[in-house]
């Protein structure tokens, strides 16, 4: 159980996500958290999870590892969902009413959204530590907090404390498991008995764990002092953080997507789509919105991945008689990863196009609504 907790661990690799600038990854992680809590409907959460799954695929981190890391937090997720289930009120008739407990449809919806949001939050923030070493992460936090140094805040010390605390999580987990195995070898019953008995049995585990944590902290402080550590002022770095071309590509891709989304929203608000008559069911509307967003993502990501693929292969990128600049340096290992991702996305896109065409035929010949006729020019 304890070995399933992977929070704070770093898995070395050479993927595109591993080689992103840590400052960029930190900013994107914060933006992902904000968007995750800003998404108030299932469609927004589904798109957030899809984006996260693509990032894990690019980082070459197995999905089984993510599922194992989420198992230890399931009790917290369930507890949070149950609280929202019983304490979120709604309109209309309640679904369940037993004594003082009342469950509304809004409570069920909010509980499910909150549970999914918390799990996506853990998985999203874990990707940062999976692909970034603690030392590099410290430099990134310090660089982003550097403007606050003018306010006489101990920026370097804050970054160092956050990184050390994050690094100590897997160390303390390993230490806890060793202590528990030692106690079981001495006959301690840690997994059996009543709930209060198991709580009492944890006392022989907590005492040596705290002693070990204090000893590790003391050894770390002594090692830093012996190396004449004196904070960030005047400190040199072996690896200086510099934005590479791939980082600018990621920023440019994000800016393009943001610009397209903003433009689409402006057009949508300026000229709302015509009504479909007879009106489809809410489920049909949600599926239609999801398919449209997936098509937008396919149209944006496919050419960008093709550009990256040609750049990684060291080949020219022709564009209507012009030659576009390479986005990244030639890299055979990265070329294979991008090619696999590009082909997978292309296959998904073909399926989406076929699904879109089938849905249009279904609307026109089965539901007999005006979806297709709305696309025709207005008769004057």
User: For the segment 21-32, what is each residue's pLDDT rounded down to a tens digit?
Assistant: 787 788 888 878
Can you tell me the distance from the alpha carbon of 121 to that of 116, in angstroms, rounded to the nearest whole number? 8
Confidence band for 153, pLDDT divided at 50, 70 and 90 = confident
Can you tell me the distance from the alpha carbon of 163 to that of 83, in angstroms, rounded to the nearest whole number? 32
pLDDT at 238: 62
For 300, counting Cβ atoms within 10 Å of its Cβ (0-12 exposed, 13-18 middle, 19+ buried), the class is: middle
SS3 content of the chain, % helix, strand, coil (to 5): 70, 5, 25
Question: pLDDT at residue 376 above 60?
Answer: no
Which of helix, strand or coil describes residue 45? helix
pLDDT at 253: 65
Question: pLDDT at residue 4 above 60?
Answer: no
Can you tell me the distance from the alpha carbon of 48 to that of 34, in angstroms, rounded to the nearest whole number? 11
> pLDDT by residue (tens digit) across 171-226?
787 888 888 888 778 777 776 767 677 777 777 788 888 888 888 888 888 888 88
Residue 378 has, within 13 A of its CA and on its CB side, a CA count of 2
Tokens of 177: 């498991």
Pairing of strands 317-319, 96-98: unpaired
End-to-end Cα separation, the chain, in angstroms: 69
Residues belonging to the chain: 380
Q: Which residues contact 350 (CB under 8 A, 6 or more apart)?
A: none
């Amino acid at each position: 159980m304890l070995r399933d907790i992977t929070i704070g661990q770093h898995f070395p690799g050479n993927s595109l996500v591993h080689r992103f600038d840590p400052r960029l990854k930190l900013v994107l992680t914060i933006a992902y958290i904000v968007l995750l809590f800003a998404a108030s409907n299932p469609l927004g959460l589904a798109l957030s999870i899809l984006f996260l799954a693509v990032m894990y695929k690019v980082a070459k981190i197995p999905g089984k590892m993510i599922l194992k890391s989420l198992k230890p937090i399931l009790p917290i997720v369930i507890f949070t969902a149950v609280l929202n289930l019983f304490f979120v009120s709604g309109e209309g008739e309640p679904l369940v009413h037993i004594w003082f407990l009342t469950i509304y449809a809004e409570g069920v919806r909010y509980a499910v959204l909150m549970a999914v949001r918390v799990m996506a939050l853990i998985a999203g923030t874990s990707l940062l530590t999976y692909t970034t070493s603690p030392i590099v992460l410290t430099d990134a936090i310090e660089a982003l907090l550097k403007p606050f140094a003018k306010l006489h805040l101990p920026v370097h010390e804050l970054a160092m404390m956050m990184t050390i605390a994050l690094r100590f999580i897997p160390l303390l987990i390993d230490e806890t498991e060793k202590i528990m195995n030692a106690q079981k070898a001495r006959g301690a019953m840690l997994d059996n008995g009543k709930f209060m008995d198991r709580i009492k049995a944890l006392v022989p585990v907590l005492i040596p764990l705290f002693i070990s944590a204090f000893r590790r902290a003391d050894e770390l402080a002594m090692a830093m002092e012996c190396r004449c550590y004196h904070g960030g002022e005047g400190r040199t770095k072996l690896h200086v953080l510099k934005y590479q071309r791939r980082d600018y590509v990621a920023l440019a891709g994000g800016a393009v997507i943001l610009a397209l989304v903003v433009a689409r929203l402006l057009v949508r608000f300026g000229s709302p789509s015509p009504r479909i008559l007879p009106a489809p069911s809410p489920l049909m509307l949600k599926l239609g919105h999801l398919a449209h967003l997936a098509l937008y993502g396919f149209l944006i990501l496919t050419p960008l991945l093709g550009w990256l693929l040609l750049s990684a292969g060291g080949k020219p990128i022709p564009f209507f008689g012009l030659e576009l600049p390479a986005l990244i340096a030639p890299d055979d290992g990265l070329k294979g990863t991008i090619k696999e991702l590009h082909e997978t996305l292309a296959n998904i896109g073909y399926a989406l196009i076929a699904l879109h065409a089938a849905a249009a035929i279904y609307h026109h010949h089965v539901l007999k609504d005006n979806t297709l006729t709305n696309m025709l020019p207005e008769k004057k």
